[in-house]
Amino acid sequence: MKALLHAEKAGIEGLSYGELTEVNPGPGEVRVRLKTAGLNHRDLFILHRHKPTDPPLVVGSDGAGVIDAVGDGVVGVEVGDEVMINPGLGWKEVSDVPPEGFEIVGLPDHGTFAEQIIVPAENAVAKPAHLSWEEAGVLSLAALTAYRALFTRGKVRSGMNVFIPGIGGGVATFLLQFAKAAGAKVYVTSRSQEKREKALQLGAEAALASNEDWEQALAGVKMDLVIESVGAATINKSLKQLRRGGTIVTFGSSTGDTVEINLRDFFYGQYNLLGSTMGSGEEYKNMIEFITEHKIKPVLDQMYQLEDFTDAFKRLEEAKQLGKIGFYVG
Amino acid sequence: MKALLHAEKAGIEGLSYGELTEVNPGPGEVRVRLKTAGLNHRDLFILHRHKPTDPPLVVGSDGAGVIDAVGDGVVGVEVGDEVMINPGLGWKEVSDVPPEGFEIVGLPDHGTFAEQIIVPAENAVAKPAHLSWEEAGVLSLAALTAYRALFTRGKVRSGMNVFIPGIGGGVATFLLQFAKAAGAKVYVTSRSQEKREKALQLGAEAALASNEDWEQALAGVKMDLVIESVGAATINKSLKQLRRGGTIVTFGSSTGDTVEINLRDFFYGQYNLLGSTMGSGEEYKNMIEFITEHKIKPVLDQMYQLEDFTDAFKRLEEAKQLGKIGFYVG
């Protein structure tokens, strides 16, 4: 089968489009013939985390396709089922942290940038009918991260004011769509005029420029919940928009990890700072139910043939995308 | 009536033991003839926060005594009741932050360092029989702060490992007693050998020196919950003792407010950092029930006559106490 393999060199230069031997699913596993796959920042990191001296690795965490082989003892899914891949391996129920042995599809096990993938049967989840193959392929990792941050950790409720600094990326776009569907009022920021306009189309109450005075622009509106992935550049500005007793969930720090916090302001404000990551299988299923109920679709940036991987990875690396980048892999 | 008044000068020099006119309780209020009162760090701060140009102020937040007059419309308490003062004014039910208008007894309203105090009837709470007057007088503010940090915010449960850096102060001692009574295993730190020994007597599993290597001393035991009031000097060391997904509650920063946090470590660890303050009337009543059920008594340092206030305030300022400092005021 055709696959995008990482070997020999760190970074994009280590990627090559080539052949990999087909394998059969083991007990409890299924083989999915993938149609589409989605590109995430994680795939860029993996090109530096996967040792070039280790055996070649198929990268990629997101994908969708049709089950074409089923291992012994598998119940609940069968050949011909249209499925999406839940990329979290070994984390079943909602819990505060994943169990020992938790891994994400695409390292150390082969990922989705290939014609086929073998996953545990529980990680092949029925594709909602309202999603196209393109949409189903790019959704999983970002939507699951957004779901856990917003619902499990942030406990978003109807009527809340939710603030999302840095609305460009895939997770942030889902955060906006999910929070809006949950009945919250959503405020966002971005450096890009185009991304601010897109956010307003998706239902944001206001879209602030990154460099404007947020406090002034919000004119006294305080946030019940902030979902932060920008990090050093925004976290203290974000804290200032929070109402006393409000919650800030952090799952990323794209502008830097080290931040200075004033503890006295923090405890007098009775704030909550909660760390979050991607989530469990239970949260994945709840997320799929939620997007099905609310007919939520990912914002698609651009689809590529897998052999054009260099253009796709570079587009993500240069942050030129608006929404999710996908591949046709089948 | 006799009272300790603050006027004219900031700090301890502005205090004088003198006379104040007796007043009668208004509608919904009671007058309590105080027997004892307790000294808190707050009383030291107040001597700098209360403007010497404003009318003289009776400081003090903690006290216990007997109701000797009842205003119109008061139900549930009567003259002769033995009561403790809940120092939180205008915060009835548990909530994430106090309502607008919330104040603490002792600024701007007169406090407990006097023969009498007028408070809303709901702030006069029946004294548990197992407490002496000395114990009842020094308990409220510190025990309420500990209760909210540990139960409402930290959600302590039986079997948890709880870490309390800086075991010297009044709140920390209650934290140790409450956590122990709730079935947790409690680990503490202190600079003082004497305080470490006292903590072990009160049931701590281990008492670490402030300057030793905590990670090594704890030999792999990780904490479910850390209650932090030391601040800059310890917060990152405390975070390192926390299990992934664990919670750190902060309600003080005696060694400095500004702290540097690594956000990436924080969100990968899925930690929770929660600010806390003193609590509501509902939490006060739950706290009184809890100490009654578990027969918890405050650790008493020393009792003073109110006219010897200078010695008492200096003892607190120099952190020489072990447990609570109290006054005989009646």
pLDDT in tens, A29-72: 999 999 999 999 999 999 999 998 899 999 999 999 999 999 99
Distance from CA of B251 to the nearest CA of A (A): 5
What domains sit in chain B, N to C, each tagged with a CATH number? Answer: 2-139+298-328 (3.90.180.10), 144-275 (3.90.180.10)
User: CB distance A96–B252 less than 8 Å?
Assistant: no
Contacts of B232 in chain A (CB under 8 A): 263
**Chain A residues in contact with B258 (beta carbon < 8 A):** 260-263
Q: Which of B231, B235, B274 sits opposite A272 (nearest CB)?
A: B274
* pLDDT value, residue A319: 84
pLDDT over threshold 90, residue B330: no
Beta strands B82-85 and B124-126: pairing type? antiparallel
pLDDT digits (tens, 9 = 90+) for B158-182: 999 999 999 978 899 999 999 999 9
* B155 — pLDDT class (breaks 50, 70, 90): very high
| Omega before residue B298 within 30° of 0, cis | no
Contact flag B97-A272 (C-beta cutoff 8 Å): no
pLDDT in tens, B68-90: 999 999 999 999 999 999 999 99
Find the CB nearest A267 among B96, B261, B275: B275
Reply yes or no on whether the pLDDT at A223 is more than 90.
yes
Question: Which residues of A have a CB under 8 Å from any CB of B?
Answer: 95-97, 231-232, 235, 244-245, 250-253, 257-277
* Per-chain mean pLDDT for chain B: 96
pLDDT at B323: 87
Q: Give the residue on B whose Cα is nearest the Cα of A244.
A: B97
- Residue pairs between chains A and B whose CB atoms are closer than 8 Å: 103
In the predicted structure, residue B321 carries a pLDDT above the cut 90:
no
Chain B residue set in contact with A, beta carbons under 8 Å? 95-97, 231-232, 235, 244-245, 250-253, 257-277
Residue A278: closest C-alpha in chain B: B268
Which amino acid is it at A100? Answer: E
- What pLDDT, on the 0 to 100 scale, is given for residue A170? 86
- Report whether A245 contacts A222 (CB < 8 A): no
Q: Min CA distance, B133 vs chain A (Å)? A: 31
Q: Which residue of chain A has the CA closest to B251? A: A267
Predicted local distance difference test score (pLDDT) of residue A287: 98
| Cα dist from B158 to A55, A80, B155, B181, B227, whole Å | 47, 49, 10, 9, 16
- Chain A: residue whose CA lies nearest to B252: A264
In this complex, which of B257, B267, B270 lies closest to A263 when CB atoms are compared?
A: B257
What single-letter amino acid sits at B161?
Answer: N
Read off the pLDDT of residues A179-192 as tens digits, 9 standing for 90 and up.
999 999 999 999 99
**pLDDT (tens digit per residue) in A117-172:** 999 999 999 999 999 999 999 999 999 999 999 999 999 999 999 999 999 788 99
Q: Which of B226, B249, B267, B280 to mutate to test the interface with A (most CBs of A within 10 A)?
A: B267
How confident is the model at residue A20, as a pLDDT? 94
How does the average pLDDT of chain A come out, rounded? Answer: 96
Q: CB A97 to CB B274 under 8 A?
A: no
Contacts of B260 in chain A (CB under 8 A): 258-261
Region of poorest pLDDT, from A110-119, B220-229, B297-306, B315-324? B315-324
Could you give the strand order of the β-sheet that contains B57-58, starting from the edge strand earlier in sequence? Answer: B15-19, B2-6, B57-58
How many angstroms away from the CA of A250 is the closest CA of chain B?
6
- Taking CA atoms, B54 is separated from B8, B49, B118, B193, B321, in Å, by 8, 11, 20, 43, 31
8 Å CB contact between B3 and B114: yes
